[in-house]
Structure 1
């Protein structure tokens, strides 16, 4: 079993959540809450939702997902942040945390580009375009997802909708906390 990563520096008051099946754990800020959505989980899986202190849904964790990825078209790709997560490695594949986006302004010019953060086992795209966002990682017996969606129209407190860009969001306390939470995911002790 992989080594558990240490609790984020300066986060001594953070709480630790262990999934009901006892396989995974992660740390989260003391004013955030974890909501068990077991009734909506895949058979034999876990489904939890993490909410900020302001009750904003920030991420979900699901296990035992059955999915089939297909790449019907590639879109312009943007990577805002990435970090390898060796504690979750399966069969030599190390998943990584990513904050990424796809731009489809040709089809939907009035919509903001889809952006998401989470853990993926897929390799990083090797060029300026990529398949649709597919943030799943290998976790027995199938795949799992610990991710959330960035919505530029839901701003950080005190900002106007035009101020909160993906680049400025990466500098917020909320992003720092959600990134530390997601990257703290590890096998339970």
Structure 2
């Protein structure tokens, strides 16, 4: 198939189910991790930097000018040798063999020290959608990712929401998510349901997750509404680590 659908389309129920199973949807509980370090597919290069510059945002409102990052980082390469990304050395990557459907592709689920899933990378995905309803939206952060350019188009990292205090977001679907998408940013006052896929051979890929207060901890915001928690999440160290991780995704050398 071609590139993922534009902002004027939304994901149908069958793909919502696949998203949940793939880890990009709301994940109800922690995944058990057998190691505090990435799986054997990860390289052992660790950065000893005490801080890291926060990625520059464009097209969205940055939460802060700079943010601290985890002190030590390592590099993970997918089992198929196609993609690589950086992650905090204290986080883990679950890269199980034999759990993908026929057709292959890469799969990697990143969890924090407590075993909470924070993002899922998966390639060779079939995508398609129909926009059934539009919702108020907000782009919290946006950054172009030239390293993943395909067919002359660069995807972007995005953290966005659907709905507001007066109009709820899509039913049975979390209304805030961070990830990579090839489709254009929403325009106007309304947008379809969140659809985070980016073009990657042979079809499409995903790397991100829906924001979940069960997995994404926002200290001091537990009593706030869901969307307010999502906005405050951009001010946390964990979010900046996630953003640095996702925006570091690139073809493996």
TM-score category, normalised to shorter length: 0.7 to 0.9
Q: Secondary structure at the match of 2:178?
A: strand
Counterpart position of 1:144: 205
Number of residue pairs aligned between Structure 1 and Structure 2 = 183
Q: Is 1:94 equivalent to 2:158 in the alignment?
A: no
Q: Is 1:166 equivalent to 2:230 in the alignment?
A: yes
Structure 1 distance, partners of 2:100, 2:82, is: 15
How far apart are residue 74 of structure 1 and its match? 1.1
Aligned pairs for 1:1-189 (under 5 A) are 9=53, 13-42=72-101, 43-103=103-163, 106=167, 114-152=175-213, 156=217, 158-162=219-223, 165-189=229-253
Q: Secondary structure at the match of 2:98?
A: helix
Deviations 1:119-154 (A, max 9, x none): 000100111211111100000000000011112455
Mark the CA change 1:73 to 1:180 in structure 2 (over 3 Å): closer, same or farther.
same
Structure 2 distance, partners of 1:133, 1:174, is: 22
Query: Does structure 1 retain, via aligned residues, the 8 Å contact 2:174–2:211?
Result: no
Mark the CA change 1:139 to 1:39 in structure 2 (over 3 Å): closer, same or farther.
same
Please give the root-mean-square deviation of Cα atoms over the aligned residues, in Å.
2.6
Query: Does structure 1 retain, via aligned residues, the 8 Å contact 2:163–2:175?
Result: yes
Determine which structure has the larger strand proportion and give its number: 1
Structure 2 distance, partners of 1:106, 1:29, is: 37
Using structure 1 for the length normalisation, give the TM-score: 0.86
Mark the CA change 1:136 to 1:29 in structure 2 (over 3 Å): closer, same or farther.
same
Structure 1 distance, partners of 2:153, 2:211, is: 26
Identify unmatched segments of 5+ residues in structure 1. 1-6
Using structure 2 for the length normalisation, give the TM-score: 0.65
Mark the CA change 1:73 to 1:160 in structure 2 (over 3 Å): closer, same or farther.
closer
